Amino acid sequence: MVAGVLQQLGIDMGPSQPPDHANPSGYFEDLRFQALHRFWSRKYETDLGRNQLRLPPWEPVLDQDDLGRYTKLIQVCARRDSWGVKDPELCYYAKHFATTLRRPIKLIATTRDKAAAAASIGSRRRWFSPADCDMVIDEYVRRQALTLTELAAHGITPALVVDYDEAIADPAATVQRIAAHVGLPVTDAATSFIAPELRKYRQHRPADTPRNEDQGLTTLTM
For residue 150, the model assigns a pLDDT of 87
In this model, does residue 206 exceed pLDDT 70?
no
Helix (H) / strand (E) element for 79: namely none
Give burial (CB, 10 Å; 0-12/13-18/19+) of 194. Answer: buried
> Top-level CATH class of 2-221?
alpha beta
Could you read off the pLDDT of 97-124 as tens digits, one per residue? 998 987 888 999 989 999 999 998 998 8
Reported pTM: 0.84
What are the domain boundaries of the chain? 2-221
For residue 203, the model assigns a pLDDT of 45
∠110-155-44 over CA atoms, to 5°?
65
Among 55-69, 135-149, 168-182, 187-201, the least confident range = 187-201
Could you read off the pLDDT of 1-57 as tens digits, one per residue? 999 999 999 999 999 988 887 778 888 999 999 999 999 999 999 999 999 999 999
Report DSSP letters for 115-168, one per residue.
HHHHHHHHHH-TTS-HHHHHHHHHHHHHHHHHHHHHHHHTT----EEEEHHHHH
How many Å is the Cα radius of gyration of the chain? 17
Q: Longest Cα pair distance anywhere in the chain, in angstroms?
A: 52
φ, ψ of residue 103 in degrees (nearest 5): -155, 165
